[in-house]
Chain A
């Protein structure tokens, strides 16, 4: 079996490098307002907050929540989620999503811990339940809005985007952005006392953000795998997506090698898919398995 040349590690990891460049470029374009880019009308199947004044695109999940809680049926957001799901699957999670990029940076420097395959797969269902839970809340808010009942007393400041309470992208790029932009942070010792007067929701959200970022050190993209509601919705259609990653049984060495399984940031056992397409709902088509495979056994096909 001809093994890939060991010459030049840069060439060997060319797709990972290309993906990282794409992530950096996407990050710059998503927050393009910093460089004077105007807002576009682009909706992407990623977690991109609308509350940051520099964002040029909006995430489909955020748009869906904002529309639903305003009693507007989110046809556009649903269409974008369905288009993404049926064509590229969760590819946007690995190549474009800004929080996914931050998760990747932390996981590159981290020490990956092995999560049992069954646990990994069962916890994916949790993200679907998270999505259904928030959609149920959104629909109930929409109903109350439609009949003219005030729901502010029930959901407080989260009455327009309930999922933002646990959504690290909005916490980082909206909540923390405004916190520093408006200079609300303690600027002297006296002001430090005010930290205790902060709303418990603020501290709760900060804890969620810290966990969402730092657990990536041990479990890469844990939030994307098990909690992200958009990832959960997109993963449902993974079996039917047009872009496929195929493991060739003729060239794959199986358990004698297993590099693909060890490197997969979503914890997928790639060896389960020898001879067929990787139709796992967790697969984000990051193609790290394709990069690492010494025998070119992993291929992308449409």
Chain B
């Protein structure tokens, strides 16, 4: 058994659980929904204005 690999995987798992708990506590899904439903112009850098 590769202990190094499994310890890194365990570290990943701890981080994932912590991040998901914080994401849930801070209601980050609501922020995601906001980004997906409202008009976002931040990706349109350089877009010509209406002439």
Output the least CB separation between B44 and chain A (Å). Answer: 5
Contact B9 A86 (CB under 8 A): yes
Contact A79 B35 (CB under 8 A): no
Which chain A positions have C-beta within 8 A of B45?
A: 156-158, 164-165, 175, 201, 205
Which chain B positions have C-beta within 8 A of A50?
A: 35-36, 40, 43
Output the least CB separation between B25 and chain A (Å). Answer: 9
Which chain B positions have C-beta within 8 A of A165?
A: 45
Contact A175 B44 (CB under 8 A): yes
Contact A198 B36 (CB under 8 A): no
Contact A76 B44 (CB under 8 A): no
Q: Does A189 lie at the interface of the complex (its beta carbon under 8 Å from any beta carbon of B)?
A: no
Q: Does A261 lie at the interface of the complex (its beta carbon under 8 Å from any beta carbon of B)?
A: no
Which chain B positions have C-beta within 8 A of A53?
A: 39
Which chain B positions have C-beta within 8 A of A85?
A: 12
Q: Which of B22, B36, B41, B48 has the most CB of A within 10 A?
A: B36
Alpha-carbon distance A265/B24, docked complex (angstroms)? 38
Which chain A positions have C-beta within 8 A of B13?
A: 86
Contact A205 B46 (CB under 8 A): yes
Output the least CB separation between A104 and chain B (Å). Answer: 23
Output the least CB separation between A34 and chain B (Å). Answer: 15
Q: Does A160 lie at the interface of the complex (its beta carbon under 8 Å from any beta carbon of B)?
A: yes
Report B27-42 residues with CB < 8 Å from chain A CB: 28-29, 31-33, 35-37, 39-42
Assuming the contacts A41-B33, A75-B26, asked whether A194 and B48 have C-beta atoms less than 8 A apart, the reply is: yes
Q: Does A1 lie at the interface of the complex (its beta carbon under 8 Å from any beta carbon of B)?
A: no
Which chain A positions have C-beta within 8 A of B37?
A: 39
Q: Within the complex, which residue of B9, B22, B33, B44 is in contact with A178, where a contact is CB–CB below 8 Å?
A: B44
Which chain A positions have C-beta within 8 A of B36?
A: 39-41, 50, 55-58
Alpha-carbon distance A136/B45, docked complex (angstroms)? 20
Contact A174 B39 (CB under 8 A): no
Report B1-35 residues with CB < 8 Å from chain A CB: 5, 8-9, 12-13, 15-16, 19-20, 22-23, 26, 28-29, 31-33, 35
Alpha-carbon distance A203/B40, docked complex (angstroms)? 21
Q: Does A220 lie at the interface of the complex (its beta carbon under 8 Å from any beta carbon of B)?
A: no
Q: Within the complex, which residue of A63, A66, A205, A240 is in contact with B8, where a contact is CB–CB below 8 Å?
A: A240
Output the least CB separation between A276 and chain B (Å). Answer: 12
Contact A178 B51 (CB under 8 A): no
Which chain B positions have C-beta within 8 A of A161?
A: 42-43
User: From A163, which residue of chain B is reached at the shortest CB distance?
Assistant: B43
Q: Within the complex, which residue of B20, B40, B41, B44 is in contact with A75, where a contact is CB–CB below 8 Å?
A: B20
Assuming the contacts A39-B33, A58-B35, asked whether A157 and B19 have C-beta atoms less than 8 A apart, the reply is: no
Which chain B positions have C-beta within 8 A of A199?
A: 46-48
Output the least CB separation between B4 and chain A (Å). Answer: 9
Assuming the contacts A72-B31, A76-B32, asked whether A178 and B12 have C-beta atoms less than 8 A apart, the reply is: no
- Give residues in A with beta carbon < 8 Å to B: 39-41, 43, 49-51, 53, 55-58, 62-63, 66-67, 72-76, 78-79, 82-83, 85-86, 156-161, 164-165, 170, 174-175, 178-179, 182, 184, 191, 194, 197-205, 237, 239-240, 242
Q: List 8 A-B contacts (CB under 8 A).
A: A75-B20, A79-B16, A179-B48, A191-B51, A202-B48, A204-B46, A205-B45, A240-B5
